[in-house]
Amino acid sequence: MKYGIVIFPTKEIQDEANSYRKRYDPHYALIPPHITLKESFEADDQLINELVIELKHIANEMDPFSIHINKVSTFAPITNTIYFKVEPRQELVDLYERMHAGKFPDNQEYAFVPHITIAQKLPDDEYSDVYSSLSMKKTQLEDQIDRFQLMYQLENGSWTVYETFVFGKEYV
């Protein structure tokens, strides 16, 4: 089965992201807006049980932290993906790095760029129009992060929560 690990922002930020995703993201119906901590990976039940224990330890060692989003950016020319850029914080980087060490599968393809996707897989012309208009828009969002989610993929391609891990509140 395929799994992934994400942070879901508050409803306010999800609503803002979804106002664009509805039109510009073909994955809109598959998963809510999120910050990816661990790209999708294959795991059997035994490995997931071991990782759940590890994720509880990681969550227990974390304190809540705030994130700031103050611009729209893009992964072009690699892909026509547009996103809310989450300012990197040491807590976020540490969380990401811990999910790429130890028993976790080593499936890191790209450098960690904390973000919330708002548009992807756009044709070049549409991408240029959408990005130029969004990049001029003033974006100022803040959120408090106190948990992350282990997700699994259903047969229809959508993702659902397997377990939520709250900082400082997990029992191993």
Read off the pLDDT of residues 151-168 as tens digits, 9 standing for 90 and up: 999 999 999 999 999 999
pLDDT at res. 106 = 85
- Is residue 49 classed as helix, strand or coil in its secondary structure? helix
What pLDDT, in 10s, does the model give residues 91-122? 999 999 999 999 999 888 888 999 999 999 99
How many structural domains are present in the chain? 1
Q: Which of 27, 57, 68, 115 is catalytic?
A: 115
- Read off the CATH number of the domain in which 156 is found: 3.90.1140.10
pLDDT score recorded for residue 169: 86
| Average confidence (pLDDT) over 21-43 | 96
> Residue 79 — φ and ψ, nearest 5°?
-140, 160
Q: Is 115 a catalytic site residue? A: yes
For residue 170, the model assigns a pLDDT of 84
Residue 68 catalytic? no
Residue 171 has pLDDT above 80, yes or no: no
pLDDT grade, residue 89 (50/70/90)? very high
In a domain, 172, yes or no: no
Does 9 score more than 80 pLDDT? Answer: yes
| Residue 2 near residue 41, CB atoms below 8 Å | yes
CA distance 102 to 98: 8
Let me know if residue 109 belongs to a domain. yes
Among the listed residues 34, 57, 68, 100, the single catalytic one is 34
Residue 149 lies in a domain: yes
List the domain range (segments joined by +) for residue 26: 2-166
**CA distance linking residue 131 with residue 151, whole number of Å:** 29
**pLDDT at residue number 172:** 67
What is residue 31's predicted lDDT score, i.e. its pLDDT? 96
- CA-to-CA distance for 25 and 58, rounded, in angstroms? 31
pTM of this structure: 0.94
As a whole number, mean pLDDT of residues 25-46 equals 96
Q: Is residue 171 part of a domain?
A: no
